[in-house]
Every structure is written in C-alpha cells, then in structure tokens.
Amino acid sequence: MVGRAPIAVALDAPDLETAARWAGLVTPHVSALKIGLELYLRYGPSVVASVRGASEAEIFLDLKLHDIPATVAGAARAVARLRPALLTVHAGAGAAAIRAAAEAIPATRIVAVTVLTSLGEADLARLGMAGPVSSAVRRLAAVAIEAGARGLVCSPQEVEAVRAEVGDGIVLITPGVRPAGTDANDQARVATPEEALRSGADLLVIGRPITAAADPGAAAAAIAASLRRAEAVDSRQ
C-alpha cells in the first residue's frame, strides 16, 4: 500500500458495525487492519469481509494460534480463504507448530509472537522463563525464523536486538506503540511510533490512540503525518 503509513490499526471494537466504521475511516492512511481474537470469535470469518470492504486493505489476522502442530495447521487452512496477509502463531508453540502453519497457508506471512508486550521481567520469572525479556525474545525469534516464520511480533524495546538477530527480510511488527503523551494502558513495554521505526520496526500496531479518538480517521492521519516528518528529518541527518 504505497503512500500509506506502516501502521496496523487494532480493530478491538465492541461490535461489527463499529469495526467496519473504524476501518473505513483509517484505511486511507494506514497499511493494514488488525483483527484480534475477540472480534473474530464474536463474528467469525464474516468480520474480514466487513472490515475489508471495498478498500482491499491488508488483513492482519491476529489469532495467536498456540496448539499442537496438527491443530495449528488445520486452523491455518481454515482461514486461508480469507486471504489474510499476516497470521500470528505463538512462538512458544514450538518449531513444529510454526512450520505446520507456514506449510498449510503458504500465501500468508506467518508471524511468530515472541513475548507479549503486557509481560515484564517479573511476569517471566513467575512463568519460569529465563530472562531478561530481551534474551527470551531473541531465543524465541531464532526458533521461529528457523521454522519458517517470515515475521515476528516483539515490543519496540527489543526490535533493534531482534533485527540484529534475524537480519533483513523478516517483517518486525511492534505492538505497545503509543504516541507521546498517551496512556500505556495494559502495555508494559512501549515506545512512540517514531522511536519504534527508528529502531527497525516495519509495522506498528496501534489501537486505542486511534480508535478511541473522537475522529479515528483524523487520528490515523495525524500519526501518519508525524511519521513522514520524522522520516524526512532522519533522511537529512
């Protein structure tokens, strides 16, 4: 989507009509629409057609599949007809599950979720995962890419280290992106959109700073404009 900002708007809407309205307002400015587990479970596959509309926006199906390989493969095949550009699988499901998803839906980029941005060091310790968070993210990233994932989800705070770990050609997607001055909500590891892009992110997941605004379209346009300005400044330095 040439000319649109590298933003995936998280359509965490209370109903299908709201999700479709948000999608219509933001698609002139952003490159993808993210459909999460709650919206998908509430309305099923029809939600994709509703939010895609006539825009042919890229669909980021964020289902975070986490099961045995056969089940993950079956779930991936089940959504193939929806033509998602991106589909998430938890890296913690293991290499075999990631490989099964990649083989089941080859036209879609399988994106492995490393460590959720709502988790911090103390959470990992309670879960029995060796930290620090950045090390856990890098370990999961390496396993996922070797298994066939072509994208990774990590927080803005780890994206630079992950890029160094996996190299170019892998799409790095960063949730936990908040414009300066906005509430972090339930995210523990956050950064501004400009910081995330400078660190090496390819796609920024932004939800409430856009969808909770009085005019989501204007909010998306404003963030897109700020990214273009930051890019112009960086190019002159």
What is the set of active-site residues? 64
Burial of 234: CB neighbours in 10 Å, binned 0-12, 13-18, 19+: exposed
**DSSP structural state of residue 191:** B
Contact (Cβ atoms closer than 8 angstroms) between residue 174 and residue 213: no
Give the separation between CA 67 and CA 53, rounded to whole angstroms.
31
Which of 210, 184, 205 minimizes the C-alpha distance to 193? 205
In the chain, what's the furthest Cα-to-Cα distance?
50
Classify 68 as helix, strand or coil: coil
Classify 5 as helix, strand or coil: strand
Helices (H), the chain: 16-26, 37-43, 46-52, 69-79, 95-104, 121-127, 133-146, 159-166, 193-199, 208-211, 216-236
Give the separation between CA 223 and CA 98, rounded to whole angstroms.
33
Give the separation between CA 124 and CA 82, rounded to whole angstroms.
35
The CB-side HSE value for 101 (13 A sphere, CA atoms) comes to: 33
